């Protein structure tokens, strides 16, 4: 991440939190299994076992993508898993994973930009503001804003779209904008079949909102 929240080591803080927006019922069986496996890995599996769980899940995600090469949701979920695995691994090795994830999201947008309620836009935007910029990586705050805004246009009330936009605005020190987006994320409607992910994301949004409000109080 331009920071990797300490160069390449902290990609975990937000990249591992990237998640799609569709209910499991909207996905093919093997892609739905990847989706539910991601939620378990991120929000149930203990931290010491998380990298191994995501490594295993990445192979399942790759198999699902191979089985459904024209399915944008399969591409999105492989990208999400790879981003999350990058977050756990950290270091230079994570950069190869996020580049693969970027390719997945770009292919998904080319196939169906509205798939999973614009999740590819939101996930790609998240990569752009967290990955280091040139020459180490491909990070770009302007592209991040563009992609995150497109994600919000598709899904203006979504928990993930608002969470990542809020985190981006916090990164830009737009405290009021971040507060508004994170508040909206916390109030987002529940997603059937995504209960574990919703609880985890809402907890993250609440914690981040607390930090943002501390900055507002200081200013």
- The secondary structure of 104-152 as a DSSP string is HHHHHHHH-TTGGGGHHHHHHHHHHHHS--TTT----HHHHHHHHHHHH
So what's the pLDDT on residue 26?
56
Q: How does the average pLDDT of the chain come out, rounded? A: 90
Whether residue 83 contacts residue 16, with contact meaning beta carbons closer than 8 Å, is answered with: yes
So what's the pLDDT on residue 15?
52
Residue 49 in domain: yes
Residue 29 in domain: yes
Residue 195 in domain: no
Please tell me which residue, 28 or 213, carries the higher pLDDT value: 213
Residue 142 in domain: yes
Does residue 173 surpass a pLDDT of 90?
Answer: yes
What mean pLDDT comes out for the span 196-214?
97
What predicted TM-score, i.e. pTM, was given to this entire model?
0.89
Q: What is the pLDDT of residues 26-75, one digit of tens each?
A: 567 999 999 999 999 999 999 999 999 999 999 999 999 999 999 999 99
As a whole-number percent, the residues of the chain with pLDDT over 70 amount to: 88
Does residue 1 surpass a pLDDT of 60?
Answer: no
Residue 177 in domain: no
Q: Give the confidence band of 92 by pLDDT, cuts at 50, 70, 90.
A: confident
Whether residue 178 contacts residue 158, with contact meaning beta carbons closer than 8 Å, is answered with: no
* 31 three-class SS: helix
Residue 179 in domain: no
* 6 three-class SS: strand
Does residue 142 surpass a pLDDT of 60?
Answer: yes
Range of the domain at 108: 12-155
Residue 201 in domain: no
State how far the Cα of 91 lies from the Cα of 206, in Å rounded to an integer: 28
Residue 112 in domain: yes
CATH code for position 128: 1.25.40.920
């Amino acid at each position: 991440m331009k920071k990797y929240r300490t160069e390449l080591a902290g990609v975990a803080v937000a990249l591992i939190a990237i998640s799609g927006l569709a209910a499991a019922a909207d996905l093919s069986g093997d892609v739905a299994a990847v989706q539910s496996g991601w939620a378990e890995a991120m929000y149930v599996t203990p931290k010491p076992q998380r990298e191994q769980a995501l490594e295993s899940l990445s192979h399942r995600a790759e198999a699902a993508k191979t089985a459904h090469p024209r399915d944008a949701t399969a591409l999105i979920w492989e990208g999400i898993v790879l981003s999350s695995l990058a977050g756990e691994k950290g270091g230079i090795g994570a950069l190869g994973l996020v580049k693969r994830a970027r390719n997945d999201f770009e292919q998904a947008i080319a196939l169906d930009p509205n798939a999973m309620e614009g999740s590819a836009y939101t996930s790609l935007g998240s990569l752009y503001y967290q990955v280091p910029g040139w020459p180490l990586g491909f990070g770009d705050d302007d592209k991040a804003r563009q992609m995150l805004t497109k994600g919000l246009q598709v899904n203006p009330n979504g928990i993930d779209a608002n969470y990542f936009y809020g985190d981006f605005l916090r990164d830009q020190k737009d405290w009021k904008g971040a507060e508004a987006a994170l508040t909206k994320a916390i109030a987002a409607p529940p997603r059937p079949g995504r209960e574990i992910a919703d609880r985890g994301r809402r907890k993250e949004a609440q914690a981040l909102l607390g930090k943002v409000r501390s900055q507002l109080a200081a200013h």
